[in-house]
Structure 1
């Protein structure tokens, strides 16, 4: 059997599926899913390989921090969901309800990986900052942790709004009504952030300072300042 005859047989089989719309749509979506996964693999390989080559140049050494924190890996993971979003309209006999539902799920997945990529980017920026002279005396880990917390909260709101096909402003208005509960839940976090800002802005405590607090068993050098804690390495 030559290729032309095989192609004609495939066309006949595909045409016969017109009598079974649900099966036709299911097979079409399955093909789209396979193509999306394959393109995701290809995109991840090309992106990571290109970044690895560029990172060998001294001027672009910072790309290695982004690669090690999987920033580009997370971005590449968006490829399958993006392909599904734009390819849904090519699937035959797929109902509008199915297109809306699958499209919203794919969009939510894309947003999830975008949020994870932004979180990884913050980690990479923290690693880059850690190699500077300022990092020896001023820690920004608390600010990065707060930024990630805000990022995840807003990301979760947008993802939920996408899944239920509603405006994120609707959920935000609901959160406004629950502000008292939110403040109660995140009271310790907010107090920790205020304390961290005061410590940093007033230059009250730096990495490398020696502190002694017998009531908590701390007697040594400050090695890290985060949003919630100050890590002290006790002297032997």
Structure 2
């Protein structure tokens, strides 16, 4: 017995019972619709059971993880939706044999649902592809989301055109031709999308930003790691666990700082200065030189330097009854030499990168003594610990060289003034 004959079974039954043709047709349609919907539901549940159990178990046991992502993104569930709606579409001509007007409406409705289900299926496949690419090292830091979103926008645009053509009965080719006249409007509507897509391409080609990069963008108060790059925005997880969203286009139109170079280098820069009170800087006398020879890090330097200065002064008949005559060592210069030697012995400083202790231009608050070096460990917490350890030693060493660190007077300082 054919499908058509089955669909007419209740019609013939009611005709034999003496019902009118119109009533028999309506009752036949109602009963057939209930039966088809029940069969469609059973088919859907069967397909869903296969997708959630058999396919999921097979994916879990397979060696590749691509099928795991298919299950995660419900690809097989969307496929079951598509198969179910196709099952219904095959029965529509027989169901609505006596109601041609309703047949046209039902076919359009099923066609629209078919287009939507196809888009959902393609979307799940694209999401699966995105998840799979993220497991490949070469694509982990690439803005795959942006390209997936562009493809989805194009798919939905064509889907809407097809749906409009189905509902209105117009030719899809004519609708696509008519889009040329709307190109200016489309460019205006999708301006941000187009800018984001172009920006994503430039970011990828120029390797400006990767997922996982630490970036700083003061304009948007962003200071943290990039964890997502999509068509419209770049998401940054700041170090206080807040999330900053930056429009993708601004990564090529505005300036920002990318710390990737630091992360890939051998160390993280330490650049900080100590303000030395200028009035505490003085020449070193011969008696004081003997004291500094006991400081191990600069003992050899003090000996060699004092001999060199003594030879120079002797050759030039310098009158050392006045200390300013001839050449002399200063406590500030000796302290700078000591800090430089200390940095070159510190285990937390990368000895293969630049190490420098230098004077900066004097200020109203004193003479800055700047330390410029690179920590061996680039981890933030350990980097701060290394720098704190160095400056703890610097501040504690200042008095040994008869120097003073500049600071504004406090209430205690004023209370100690003689009355």
TM-score, normalised by the number of residues in structure 2:
0.50
Q: In the alignment, is residue 191 of structure 1 matched against residue 195 of structure 2?
A: yes
Question: Residue 28 of structure 2 corresponds to which residue in structure 1?
Answer: 24
Query: Which structure has the higher relative contact order (CA within 8 Å, separation 6+)?
Result: 1
Q: 1:31 to 1:208 in 2, by over 3 A?
A: closer
Q: Which residue of 2 aligns with 1:166?
A: 170
Alignment of 1:6-85 (within 5 A): 12-13=13-14, 15-16=16-17, 19=21, 20=23, 21-85=25-89
Q: 1:37 to 1:163 in 2, by over 3 A?
A: farther
Give the stretch that moved more between structures: 10-19 or 121-130: 10-19
Structure 2 gaps of 5+ residues are 1-8, 241-419
Query: Structure 1: any 5+ residue segments left out of the alignment?
Result: 1-7
Deviation of 1:155 after TM superposition, in Å, equals: 1.4
| Equivalences for residues 88-167 of structure 1 within 5 A | 88-91=92-95, 93-167=97-171
Cα distance, 1:34 vs. partner? 2.5
- Structure with larger Rg: 2
Deviation at 1:107, TM superposition (A): 1.8
SS across alignment from 1:205: coil
Runs of 4+ in 1 over 6 A off after TM superposition: 8-11
Secondary structure in 2 aligned to 1:220?
strand
Q: CA deviation digits over 1:14-63, x for unaligned, max 9?
A: 74456222333333333223222222222222243331132123334321
Please report the TM-score for the alignment, with normalisation by the length of structure 1: 0.86
Q: Partner of 1:3 in structure 2? A: none
Distance 1:58 1:25 in 2: 47
Query: How much has 1:77 moved relative to structure 2?
Result: 1.0
CA distance in 1, matches of 2:223, 2:237: 8
Deviates further, 106-115 or 90-99? 90-99
Deviations 1:131-178 (A, max 9, x none): 111233322111111111111111122122223333222322232211
Could you say which residue in structure 2 is the equivalent of 1:201? 205
Deviation at residue 129 of structure 1 after TM alignment: 1.2
Give the structure with the larger helix fraction: 1
